[in-house]
Amino acid sequence: MTLSRLATLSRQLNNYFTIFIPYILKTEKRFKNIYTVFSGGDDLFLIGPWNTIIEFAGLLNDSFREYVCFNNNITLSAGFSIHKPHDPVLRLAEASEHALSMAKSKGRDSITIFYETAKWKDFRTLREIKETIEEWLNNGKINNAMLFKLNELIEMRRQEEELLKSGSIYLEDMECLKWRAKLKYTIVRNAGRRLKEDERQKVVREVMQIAEWLERHGGNLRIPLWQVIYNNRKGG
């Protein structure tokens, strides 16, 4: 790449972060509580409600991909951290930088949320999974107890992945392999409990797609799950 082309690219990236991003934050009402600490060059540091920031992250990457004409050689990496309201900005910056480093350590085009790193293409799917879990919860297909049980099963699935990668499997480490059986037991016991039997069986079959999610996403399933759990906490 020639110096002139490199300078043009640098200028265009700077325009995206210094002009387009502030414009979106100013004009989109859903993002009115997001504040810019720094935006320029190819860097961005934002503070805002955790759920709004995650929503904005999806829009940010989608708009950036369009801005660079879907050039796979120009990608974003992002790190997200959650804090108490009175934590100093320096602590926020350090934690966010650590999350960003986690994202970059897994390769370009990644985002780290809740200490889990996913590729942006998988992040889109995880957003859809979040919406599905919320729909199940709001319609009484699952309950809060099942959400917390699922959190335990995600950890078992993560342990299974590490176990299989290690190449050495010992009897005392095999408890995590039971996650499939425990998942089925949890779903049969909790899904659609207030529904009639025929309707309940349909819900059980529907909710069993969690097994497929766990197989595909492993620990990254915490990203949609924890969003739902946080959103349903008392007082926020």
- 26 assigned to some structural domain: yes
Phi, psi of 117 (to 5 degrees): -110, 130
State which of 113, 148, 166 marks the end of a domain: 113
CB 140 within 8 A of CB 192: yes
Confirm whether 119 is domain-assigned. no
Helix 197-207 vs helix 179-190: crossing angle, to nearest 10? 150
Reading phi first (left if > 0) and then psi (alpha if -120 to 50, else beta), residue 136 is in alpha
Cross-strand partners of 35: 47
Do residues 93 and 129 share a domain?
no
Residues 103 and 138 in one domain: no
Q: Same structural domain for residues 7 and 108?
A: yes
Last residue of a domain, one of 113, 143, 159: 113
**Are both 204 and 183 inside the same structural domain?**
yes
- Kindly write down the DSSP assignment for every residue of 22-84, as one continuous string: HHHHHH-GGGTT-EEEEEETTEEEEE--HHHHHHHHHHHHHHHHHHTTT-TTS---EE-----
Residue 183 domain-assigned (yes or no): yes
Report whether pLDDT(208) > 90: yes
pLDDT at 1 over 60: no
- Helix H or strand E segment including 113: strand 110-113
Structural domain that includes position 219? 125-231
pLDDT digits (tens, 9 = 90+) for 29-85: 999 999 999 887 778 899 999 999 999 999 999 999 999 889 988 899 999 999 988
Instruction: Name the least confident of 1-5, 85-89, 94-98.
Output: 1-5
Evaluate whether residue 137 is within a structural domain. yes
CB of 127 within 8 A of CB of 55? no
- Which pLDDT score is estimated for 213? 96
- Give the CATH number for residue 22: 3.30.70.270
Per-residue pLDDT band for 3 (boundaries 50, 70, 90) equals low
Name which residue leads in pLDDT, 8 or 114.
114
Smallest Cα–Cα separation from 64: which of 106, 26, 105, 24?
24
Q: Are residues 100 and 147 in the same domain?
A: no
The answer to whether residue 208 sits within a structural domain is yes
- What average pLDDT does range 3-25 have in this prediction? 82
Dist CA 24 CA 160 (whole Å): 42
Per-residue pLDDT, averaged over 221-233, amounts to: 92
Q: How far is it, in rounded angstroms, from Cα 85 to Cα 128?
A: 29
Does any domain span residue 118? Answer: no
pLDDT at 230 over 50: yes
Query: In terms of domains, do 54 and 101 share one?
Result: yes
Q: Over the stretch 113-141, which tens digit does the pLDDT of each residue have?
A: 999 999 999 999 999 999 999 999 999 99
pTM of the model: 0.86
Residue 236 included in any domain: no
Check if the beta carbon of residue 46 is closer than 8 Å to that of residue 63.
Answer: no
